[in-house]
Amino acid sequence: MFDWEEPKIDDEPRGHPGVSVIKVGDLKRVRESERIPMPKILLVEDNEMNRDMLSRRLLRHGFEVLIAIDGMQGLEMAHSEAPDLILMDMSLPEIDGWEATRRLKADPATQPIPIIALTAHAMVSDKEKAMRAGCNDYDSKPVDLKRLLSKISGQLGVTRAE
Ligand code: MN
């Protein structure tokens, strides 16, 4: 379930009274100091090389990362692990990412979990197809980490540190 609270940073005035803006870097520091776990990301990806590279980079940014290697395992882990966000490769064995997304969004238990689609196809129609399946956002591979982190932050309600 998406139930973590944004910590407040009281010693960093931002110039927008009443609006608290937390960057990913700050978030990691504050959460560590308060012993709050970082957001848990479920990465559903069948390609071992993509999986290893992306999971390592997300870990380096402080996220907790869980890995599923096909659509069926992705569905199971979305239920058993209650991740804060799912990065969903679309081209997957067993159940593809579109079908897995449709099932997750049709289930009240997993519907609130934001899903960002990842596909090697950079065509507009692929983006539309992913959004129609219920994905909350979309990014194309190869992954541009800065761009992806900003989309992750957007879905988690935080902004990315520059
Ligand atoms: Mn794939």
Distance between CA atoms of 56 and 51, rounded to whole angstroms?
Answer: 8
Distance between CA atoms of 85 and 124, rounded to whole angstroms?
Answer: 23
Structure confidence by residue, pLDDT tens digits, 96-127: 999 999 999 999 999 999 999 998 866 778 88
Ligand 1 center to residue 9 CA distance, Å? 39
Structure confidence by residue, pLDDT tens digits, 40-67: 999 999 999 999 999 999 999 999 999 9
Ligand 1 center to residue 120 CA distance, Å? 8
Ligand 1 center to residue 89 CA distance, Å? 6
CA 52 centroid distance within chain: 16
Structure confidence by residue, pLDDT tens digits, 6-41: 555 444 444 444 445 566 677 777 777 777 778 999
Ligand 1 center to residue 68 CA distance, Å? 11
Say what the pLDDT of residue 38 is.
86
Alpha-carbon Rg for the chain in angstroms = 16
Domains of the chain: 37-152 (3.40.50.2300)
List the shell of residues around ion ligand 1, using CB closer than 5 Å.
46, 89, 91
The DSSP code sequence of the chain is ---PPPPP-TT---SSTT----BHHHHHHHHHHTTPPPPEEEEE---HHHHHHHHHHHHHTT-EEEEESSHHHHHHHHHHH--SEEEEESS-SSS-HHHHHHHHHHSTTTTTS-EEEEES---HHHHHHHHHHT-SEEEESSP-HHHHHHHHHHHHT-B---
Ligand 1 center to residue 88 CA distance, Å? 9
Assess contact for 51 and 43: CB atoms under 8 A: yes
Residue 84 predicted with pLDDT over 60: yes
Assess contact for 152 and 85: CB atoms under 8 A: yes
Ligand 1 center to residue 11 CA distance, Å? 44
Ligand 1 center to residue 160 CA distance, Å? 27
Ligand 1 center to residue 69 CA distance, Å? 9
